[in-house]
Amino acid sequence: MSVPKLRFKEFDGAWISTNIQGLVDQNILDKPMDGNHGEIHPTSADYVENGIPFVMATDVFDGNVYLDKSKKITKEQADTLRKGFSIEGDILLTHKATIGNVAKVPKLDTPYIMLTPQVTYYRVRDYEKLVPDFIKSSFESKKFQNELIALCTGATRLYIGISEQRKLPFSYPSKSEQTKIASFLSTVDEKISQLNQKHKLLSQYKQGMMQKLFSQQFRFKADNGGEFGGWVEIKITDVADYVDYRGKTPRKVEDGILLVTAKNIRFGYIDYSISQEYICSDDFDEVMRRGRAEIGDVLITTEAPLGNVASVDRENIALAQRVIKYRGKKGILNNEFLKQKFLSEEFQSLISSKATGGTVQGIKGSTLHNLEINIPEDIEEQTKIANFLATIDQKIEVVAKQIEQAKQWKKGLLQQMFV
């Protein structure tokens, strides 16, 4: 009997089990539909500043469709297309390259939105049998996502067409139970949304303060209540020592010394989960012969990706190619200040302007080391700025962890509340 592990106590009995085609045959759902293929598919030359949102798979993430970020086409062009007209209340499912992202089309300022061939809409016909928000939550469940991936084709770019989507199994209870499940999960989504907004506002606040601090629009007082001295424009190499770890690729092993690569270095922190590579402990001294990393050293990536920055936060790690390590000269440059400076919009724009390459942008170490940065002459002022910004970072990190915890909680609920 099809029943969920976790259920509201007032409900019992088996859920109805069918598939997407079964829902279409019973006139509960319209036929699932994606966007236009072939010659009539709009191209980049058709995009306009304002118009009908042209929704790609990349516009659907975190349970939402971000229409403000989507490309736009004119209504006149949209009206000539054959299909892919999605309206308020439709459930969107990405099915090419980006697989399984789900969202509900929100209230619109336009008559409809247009979908690309990467996105399918699901539209309820019989609202007495099926609740749109229940479909969304069901599509987000681990069971449905596993079924979706299992039906995909393609090695590097997964794809599941409309005909295969119709084979996807789908189970549902009474309308009243669907409504209660959807309502409960929407409160979880709202909590996640509030946390995301808090994270966004804190990040914006930090960016604003960085601009004020690094432009000297806002300055701290010295501990004695006096004013700090001036700032100086100076080459990075004059105030920091560096090590460039380019060279021969080290031998990789299954277990040993952790190798931090450019992939691990994110914008402000090291992500040890994204890639875990190791080198033999016997090779450690040779790999790090130019200089071992110490806690607090500043890392920056020179290519793929360009300009990601983090502080070393653990001992005995090896550093890979495309990573440069900086250490402020004692009494002259505060490491945390340097990290925050590297993260600033001003510095990121500077290295982007100096980058070379086509598809993959990169910057030479010799160019990077000789860039000039504006810093306070007094290291006490550097430290005050660094500590202030680091405190905001800590608050942002706390909220980021709360978001992840809420997402994991929702994931667990979805796993138990659906069949």
Q: Which amino acid is at 110?
A: T
d(CA 356, CA 302): 11
Are 359 and 304 a contacting pair, CB within 8 Å?
Answer: no
- Is pLDDT above 70 for 98? yes
Residue 219 lies in a domain: no
> Is residue 368 a part of any domain in this protein?
yes
- 43 and 115 share a domain? yes
- Of 174, 191, 206, the domain-final residue: 174
Distance CA 285, CA 228 (A): 43
Tokens encoding 399: 């909220």
Give the Cα separation of 141 and 101 in Å (integer): 11
Backbone angles phi, psi at 158, to 5 degrees: -65, 150
Same domain for 277 and 162, yes or no, is no
221 in any annotated domain? no
Indicate whether 77 and 168 sit together in one domain: yes
What is this structure's pTM? 0.88
Whether the per-residue pLDDT at 1 is higher than 70: the answer is no
Does the residue 107 lie in any domain?
yes
CA 328 to chain centroid, in Å, comes to: 31
Q: Are 22 and 155 part of one and the same domain?
A: yes
Looking at the structure, tell me whether residues 303 and 168 fall in a common domain. Answer: no
**Quick check: is 42 in a domain?**
yes
Q: What tokens does 21 get?
A: 């085609």
Q: What is the pLDDT of residues 189-214, one digit of tens each?
A: 999 999 999 999 999 999 999 999 99
Same domain, 24 and 111: yes
Asked if the structure places residue 7 within a domain, the reply is no
Cβ–Cβ < 8 Å for 232, 372: no
Residues 163 and 22 placed together within one structural domain of the fold: yes
User: Which three-class secondary structure state does DSSP give residue 265?
Assistant: strand
CA distances in angstroms from 402 to 147, 185, 190, 199, 398, listed in the order given: 29, 17, 13, 10, 6
If asked whether residues 20 and 154 sit together in one domain, one would say yes
pLDDT tens, residue by residue, 149-189: 999 999 788 999 999 999 999 999 999 999 999 999 999 99
pLDDT digits (tens, 9 = 90+) for 136-157: 999 999 999 999 999 999 978 8
SS3 readout for 119-172: EEEECECCCCCCCHHHHHHHHHCHHHHHHHHHCCECCCCCECCHHHHCCCEEEE
CATH number at residue 35: 3.90.220.20
Domain boundary pick from 174, 196, 212: 174
d(CA 380, CA 382) in angstroms, rounded, equals 5
Please tell me whether residues 159 and 237 are part of one structural domain.
Answer: no
Q: Find out whether 4 and 178 touch, Cβ atoms under 8 Å.
A: no
Mean pLDDT rounded to a whole number for the chain: 96
Q: Give the sign of the dihedral formed by CA 181, CA 184, CA 186, CA 192.
A: negative
Rounded to an integer, what distance in angstroms lies between the CA atom of residue 317 and that of residue 335?
18
Domains identified in the chain, total number? 2
How far is it, in rounded angstroms, from Cα 388 to Cα 333?
Answer: 16
Q: Is the peptide bond before 305 cis (omega within 30 degrees of 0)?
A: yes
Say if residue 237 is in the same domain as residue 344: yes
Question: Residues 349-400: pLDDT tens digits?
Answer: 999 999 998 888 999 999 999 999 999 999 999 999 999 999 999 999 999 9
The first and second tokens of residue 416, run together, are: 């138990």
Domain residues for the domain of 301 are 231-376
Within a domain: residue 2? no
Percent of the residues in the chain that have a pLDDT greater than 70, as a whole number = 100
DSSP secondary structure string, 57-100? GGGEETTEE-TTTSEEE-HHHHTT-SS-EE-TTPEEEEEESEEE
User: 147 with 237, same domain?
Assistant: no
Q: pLDDT tens digits, residue range 211-258?
A: 999 999 999 999 999 999 999 999 999 999 999 998 778 899 999 999
Tell whether the model's pLDDT for residue 117 goes beyond 70.
yes
Claim to verify: residue 161 and residue 237 sit in the same structural domain: no
**Of 298, 316, 311, which is closest to residue 241 (Cα–Cα)?**
298
Q: Which H or E run contains 280? A: none
Q: Please give the pLDDT value at position 385.
A: 99
Residue 304 contacts residue 265 (beta carbons within 8 Å)? no
DSSP string, 8-22: -TT--SPPEEEEHHH
Residue 5 is assigned to a structural domain of this protein: no
Average pLDDT estimate for 289-309: 95
Picking from 174, 201, 222, the residue at the C-terminal end of a domain is 174
